[in-house]
């Protein structure tokens, strides 16, 4: 494998990596003991207990159907896309006569460029990339296929794991990639596909890694650089002490903010929403903590950048259904909207914040935000969809209130009750629920700690229990309005609701200034 601590073991999918720290060098992963020195591994090799080679479907057990499908689909894709030694030779313009007299790796070597000057890492560009080369300290997203000479199938490939998704790794001085592969990727550009022929000294060492990696093995990698993020500015800033960060220049801070922002964007594109939200948060922290400006131009530039970061963080939080945190971040971003510089950026924030408000729910604020977005871009699809969602949620909220009111305050048919003897409470009463009084017309909230009795039917108790538990289980609802009934029977019902709210950890709010009583979640 590429990473020392993952040799012949499954790789860590990109979405499981920590977005801020990636993999620390001393992490313990699967087969490698913590005390293993990676330099010793390169020089002397290491023996590992590795899984058996999968040569056909019979090698996979009945319980491995998902792995089986993924493995053989990956092999089929590699075959379709021409990831073979013969295809590589043909792409280089090498004929069959050459193949008869020399080994395939020797054939490839004649057409390759020596990256280090010692023949340890040879490279040939199959598909040119564009832009700048990968700078050290970047996090790269790559697809790769690894092959040994004389083997029919690749020994490792991203196409055969992780649902065929590329993997993300750190390159540069602290990389955990094979040294030869690290050098090869650092010479690449975005979108480039290249072959890298790596000698044992820059791969698995003299002894290899038995049983699947032979001694003195050259390795051929076909690598496609999907994208990269230069996070070196962010990493350098994070490594400063607290005092050094306070003295950091505007240029240092703005570079760190942009680096965290770009990193978050790349993570979001890969569907790593939690990591993206953390990267955006790191960018915001650089801005908010002791950042100073020489003039208004610097201040405006910083606000423009941080507005985009905050808006993007709202979107990442929405993807994880973290409505409250998204609303909080969106409201903070509104303080910097004067520096947005682009009406479309403002519209995106309004619609994102409106969605969070719909699910909190705060319908009035959501409606105001959607109207502001509509003014910036009439007949925008996002605004139309969210307006329909708002109307649907409002309708559902109203129906729930009406249904609760119908059930809670419908007239009760009471049968004749015989007097209870021996001081026992009559049917329909309980001494366990004892507020001193029920809510009156002025809105007094009952106190269940005082003496008294609450008279409600068993059917009403069941209705209340069902309604409150449905309310508790709905993460989008924060408040449940109750009907106002000033009769004695209605006040007894409200008193019972108050008792159950306290038992379930809910807050009962009584009538205030002629309003309606309601139930509110306390968390």
pLDDT per residue as tens digits for the range 64-97: 555 545 544 554 555 555 556 656 666 666 555 5
Q: What is the mean pLDDT of residues 172-183?
A: 91
Task: Please write the tens of the pLDDT for every residue from 209-243.
Answer: 777 788 888 999 999 999 888 877 787 888 888 88
Report, as an integer, the average pLDDT of 11-33.
34
pLDDT in tens, 366-376: 999 999 999 99
Virtual torsion, Cα 96, 98, 103, 109, nearest 10 deg: -120
Write down the pTM of the prediction.
Answer: 0.55
Range of 169-173, 382-386, 435-439 with top mean pLDDT: 382-386
Q: Mean pLDDT across the stretch 130-135?
A: 90
Please tell me the distance from the alpha carbon of residue 181 to that of residue 47, in angstroms, as a whole number: 21
Instruction: Name residues whose C-beta falls within 8 Å of residue 49's C-beta, 6 or more positions apart in sequence.
Output: 31
Alpha carbon distance 111, 93 (integer Å): 9
Q: How many helices (H) and strands (E) does the chain have?
A: 17, 14
- Calculate mean pLDDT across residues 300-321: 95
CATH number assigned to the domain with residue range 429-521, chosen from the 4 options 3.30.1370, 3.40.50, 3.30.300, 3.30.1490: 3.30.1370
User: How many angstroms separate the Cα of 507 from the Cα of each of 445, 517, 522?
Assistant: 11, 11, 6
Q: Are strands 479-481 and 130-133 parallel, antiparallel or unpaired?
A: unpaired
The domain locations on the chain are 4-230, 235-397, 429-521
**Following DSSP, what letter does each residue of 322-347 receive, concatenated?**
-HHHHHHHHHHHHTTGGG---HHHHH
Q: Say what the pLDDT of residue 214 is.
A: 83
pLDDT at position 440: 43
Q: Is 39 helix (H, G, I), strand (E, B) or coil?
A: helix
Provide mean pLDDT across the span 295-304. 92
The answer on pLDDT for 396 being more than 50 is yes
At 139-169, the pLDDT tens digits run 899 999 998 887 777 888 888 777 778 888 8
pLDDT at 306 over 50: yes
What integer pLDDT is reported at residue 289 of this predicted model?
83
- Residue 55, pLDDT above cutoff 80: no
CATH number assigned to the domain covering 4-230:
3.10.50.40
Share the mean pLDDT of the chain: 75
What average pLDDT score do residues 22-50 get?
34
Please give the pLDDT value at position 65: 54
Contact by Cβ (8 Å): 195, 88:
yes
Could you give the percent of the chain with pLDDT greater than 90?
33
pLDDT at 46 over 60: no
Chosen CATH of 235-397 out of 3.40.190.10, 1.25.40.10, 2.30.42.10, 3.40.50.620: 1.25.40.10
Better-scored residue on pLDDT, 366 or 421: 366
Q: Quick one: pLDDT band at residue 503, thresholds 50, 70, 90? A: confident
Least confident of 56-65, 163-172, 181-190, 455-464: 56-65
Give 520's pLDDT tier (boundaries 50, 70, 90).
confident
- For the cut 90, the answer to whether the pLDDT of residue 270 exceeds it is no
């Amino acid at each position: 494998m590429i990473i020392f601590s993952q040799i012949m073991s499954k790789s860590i999918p990109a979405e499981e990596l920590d977005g801020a720290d990636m993999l620390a060098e001393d992490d313990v992963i699967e087969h490698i003991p913590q005390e293993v020195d990676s330099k010793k591994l390169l020089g002397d090799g290491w023996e590992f207990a590795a899984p058996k080679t999968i040569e056909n479907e019979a090698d996979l057990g009945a319980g491995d159907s998902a792995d089986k499908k993924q493995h053989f689909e990956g092999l089929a894709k590699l075959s379709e896309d021409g990831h073979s030694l013969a295809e590589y030779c043909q792409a280089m313009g090498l004929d069959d006569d050459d193949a008869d007299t020399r080994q395939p790796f020797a054939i490839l070597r004649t057409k390759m460029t020596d990256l280090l000057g010692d023949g340890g890492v040879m490279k040939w560009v199959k598909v040119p990339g564009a832009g700048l080369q990968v700078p050290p300290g970047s996090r790269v997203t790559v697809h790769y296929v690894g092959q040994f000479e004389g083997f029919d199938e690749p020994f490792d490939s991203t196409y055969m794991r992780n649902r065929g998704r590329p993997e993300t790794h750190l390159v540069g001085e602290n990389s955990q990639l094979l040294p030869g592969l690290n050098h090869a990727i650092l010479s690449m550009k975005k979108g480039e596909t290249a072959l890298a022929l790596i000698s044992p000294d820059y791969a698995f060492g003299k002894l290899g890694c038995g049983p699947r990696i032979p001694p003195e093995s050259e390795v051929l990698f076909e690598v496609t650089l999907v994208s990269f993020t230069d996070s070196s500015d962010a990493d350098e800033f994070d490594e400063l002490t607290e005092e050094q960060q306070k003295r950091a220049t505007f240029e240092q801070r703005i570079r760190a903010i942009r680096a965290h922002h770009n990193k978050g964007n790349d993570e979001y594109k890969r569907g790593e929403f939690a990591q993206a939200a953390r990267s955006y948060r790191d960018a915001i922290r650089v801005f908010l903590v002791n950042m100073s400006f020489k003039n208004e131009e610097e201040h405006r530039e910083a606000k423009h950048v941080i507005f985009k970061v905050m808006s993007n963080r709202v979107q990442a939080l929405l993807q994880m259904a973290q409505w409250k945190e998204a609303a909080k971040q969106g409201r903070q971003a509104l303080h910097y909207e004067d520096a947005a510089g682009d009406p479309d950026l403002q519209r995106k924030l309004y619609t994102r914040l409106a969605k969070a408000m719909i699910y909190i729910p705060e319908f009035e604020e959501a409606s105001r935000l959607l109207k502001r977005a509509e003014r910036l871009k009439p007949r925008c699809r996002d605004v139309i969809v969210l307006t329909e969602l708002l109307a649907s949620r409002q309708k559902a909220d109203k129906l729930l209130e009406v249904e609760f009111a119908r059930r809670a305050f419908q007239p009760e048919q009471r049968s004749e009750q015989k007097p209870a003897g021996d001081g026992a409470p009559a049917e329909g009463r309980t001494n366990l629920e004892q507020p001193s009084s029920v809510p009156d017309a002025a809105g007094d909230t009952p106190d269940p700690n005082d003496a008294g009795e609450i008279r409600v039917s068993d059917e009403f108790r069941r209705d209340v229990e069902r309604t409150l538990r449905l309310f508790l289980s709905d993460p989008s609802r924060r408040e449940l309005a109750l009907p106002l009934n000033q009769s004695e029977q209605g006040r007894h019902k409200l008193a019972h609701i108050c008792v159950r709210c306290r038992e379930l950890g809910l807050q009962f709010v009584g009538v205030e200034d002629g309003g309606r009583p309601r139930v509110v979640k306390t968390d």
